[in-house]
Chains A and B, each alone.
Chain A
């Protein structure tokens, strides 16, 4: 499993420029001695948290860093997570968010959509959901630690081939249309997160961005003139992935990640156990049928 995640990591780092800013890809391949000792496996388990809870890693910009602030921020995040179960999700997962709305007092507002973007760190962490409702594309950006959010459900846990799915805005509407009354799909425990390799068909130009320059994996042939691809090749900066200094500046070192998640581990495990208990309880409750 770790091998696959490592591959994923390498692939992500090769495709991404902005998306996974906080995730360090400077992990040494463990290979043979991965199962040798227990502390190593524990370390790996801790390091897995960076995919599940990326927002616990601070902003790597060194001029904004302060250890006391980061600690206080994490404490606040844990305090909020004790009131609300924020499950594991990725860009490409289909989610439902229930939040209270000042214009409909006493009720909650539910929005279902595909997660097209995830970003921010600490209490500023946010994600964007997209859906097409009545032939109109709708996107809502939610802040993960906003106290007006009542519930975050993952209806379908999966990843896509790209870190950001902003190109769905220029894709045919059927690719971002999801049933608001969708039933949640439950994955059996222990399975890795499936990757949806669907290739999206984009509408013809004009687009919001020059998608041919973004090195997208999850789109079908763009059907452009040769000159566009030529220009894209000219502008591309394929050497950046080898720039170690840049890599260092935009990531949190592994040592620091293990320190941060090591501190959080017991709290996160407790939260997870709580979440599972709640899930089990929910399983036993008979679903009420809508009219």
Chain B
């Protein structure tokens, strides 16, 4: 009896539904099932129907899309006269030393084998100058010296946790993790409390410079690991990112290498000017992207595919080919394994980083095979070659 009643009810429901569909628009009582059907119907409709352009729809001041990373915190503390006695100053120094010397050096472990697809961390370095090296064939080559600073791992964001300030359109396949590195230890009392908080997790003394590096999760480093110049190998290529020299507002000749105009032959008041900036007729306007005077420099640029020719292990200095690396002498640069497909390393790299000690067994200077060491005897050209 009961069974029959249920069956009956179902049938009645179905009947209801069909009935209801026919007068769906009139009905105010929606059920879940019908919602879906309606949605599908609308979707089909919308696929064929294009709405007319609606003007004045934009918001005048849209919310900024750029959101700063979490570690962009006010760094420098306002200077206040603390009226400390020399003894107290000494005591504060002691406290700082005690606090940060307790942390044990972290040992990274490597159980992952290197493959060309794995992305390792980069390093923070300082450009310290340019000087020539000579190749074994007697040719001179200009090199830039990059001193790798005291790079410590400050924070690690796994791929699912890292929330980038700028979202990239489309789906991202094998998302990278993010490693926050710090360089140049400094007196923590000069920094704000919030800035020092960044370093709490790793137990590292607060650093002046921070750098964000994307890594494969397999190539991640434990917090507090110290990374040195041996992270890179001689003969491999690196990309170096730096902030170019700020040249201020510059004319078109300096900024874009225009030719300028003649100095004489009746030319007046237009010697360093750009000349025409657009045509007439249909293209009667200044086209976007026209090269004009403006601010030059002080922006990040990447010099790609620079070969490491020599490494000084005692001073942590990389000698990198080329003399046009962005940034002034003594400015901070960021070094990465190269992204250029033809210059990617073939031999395995130390993963996640060089884990051995830098002691007597490691030579002070490691040269690329093409480079002549200054302590080598004079170059002699072989007759047989």
Kindly state whether residue A83 has any CB partner on chain B within 8 Å: yes
- Give B357-377 interface residues, CB cut-off 8 Å to A: 372-377
| Interchain CB contact under 8 A, B379 and A63 | no
Kindly state whether residue A146 has any CB partner on chain B within 8 Å: yes
| Interchain CB contact under 8 A, A72 and B378 | no
Given contacts A64-B329, A102-B138, A105-B385, contact A122 B378 (CB under 8 A): no
| Interchain CB contact under 8 A, B378 and A147 | yes
Q: CA of A73 to CA of B132 in the docked complex: distance in angstroms?
A: 10
Instruction: Classify the secondary structure of B's interface with A.
Output: loop
Tell me, rounded to whole Å, the shortest Cβ–Cβ distance linking A207 to chain B: 24
Given contacts A101-B381, A102-B138, contact A68 B128 (CB under 8 A): yes
| Interchain CB contact under 8 A, B329 and A63 | yes
| Interchain CB contact under 8 A, A68 and B385 | no
Given contacts A83-B376, A102-B138, contact A68 B317 (CB under 8 A): yes
Given contacts A63-B329, A100-B381, A105-B381, contact A73 B374 (CB under 8 A): no
| Interchain CB contact under 8 A, A123 and B131 | yes
Please classify how large the interface on chain A is, using the bins under 10, 10 to 19, 20 to 34, 35 or more. 20 to 34
- Chain B interface: which of A74-82, A176-184, A249-257? A74-82
Instruction: Classify the secondary structure of A's interface with B.
Output: mixed
What are the residues of chain B within 8 A of A101 when measuring CB–CB? Answer: 381
- Give A115-153 interface residues, CB cut-off 8 Å to B: 122-124, 143, 145-150
Q: Using a Cβ–Cβ cut-off of 8 Å, how many residues does chain B contribute to the interface with A?
A: 29
**A57-72 Cβ-contact flags toward B at 8 Å (1 or 0):** 0000001111011101
Given contacts A64-B129, A100-B380, A143-B140, contact A80 B374 (CB under 8 A): yes
Kindly state whether residue A106 has any CB partner on chain B within 8 Å: yes
What are the residues of chain B within 8 A of A100 when measuring CB–CB? Answer: 138, 378-381
Kindly state whether residue A268 has any CB partner on chain B within 8 Å: no
Given contacts A68-B317, A122-B131, contact A150 B381 (CB under 8 A): no
| Interchain CB contact under 8 A, B129 and A82 | no
Q: CA of A253 to CA of B324 in the docked complex: distance in angstroms?
A: 30
Q: Which of B134, B375, B378, B385 has the most CB of A within 10 A?
A: B378
Q: CA of A65 to CA of B137 in the docked complex: distance in angstroms?
A: 30
| Interchain CB contact under 8 A, B383 and A105 | yes
**A140-170 Cβ-contact flags toward B at 8 Å (1 or 0):** 0001011111100000000000000000000
- Give B117-152 interface residues, CB cut-off 8 Å to A: 128-129, 131-132, 134, 137-138, 140, 145, 147
**A80-105 Cβ-contact flags toward B at 8 Å (1 or 0):** 10111000000000000000111011
Contact of B374 among A69, A79, A148 (CB under 8 A): A79
| Interchain CB contact under 8 A, A73 and B378 | no
List 23 interface pairs A-B (beta carbons < 8 Å), by A numbering. A64-B329, A66-B128, A66-B329, A68-B128, A69-B131, A70-B129, A72-B317, A73-B131, A76-B131, A76-B374, A77-B374, A79-B373, A79-B375, A83-B374, A100-B381, A123-B131, A123-B132, A143-B132, A147-B134, A147-B376, A147-B378, A148-B378, A149-B378
4 closest Cβ pairs, A-B complex: A106-B383, A69-B129, A105-B381, A79-B374
With contacts A73-B131, A105-B381, A105-B382 known, what are 13 further pairs, Cβ within 8 A?
A: A66-B129, A66-B330, A76-B374, A77-B374, A83-B375, A102-B381, A122-B131, A123-B131, A143-B132, A143-B140, A145-B374, A148-B138, A148-B378
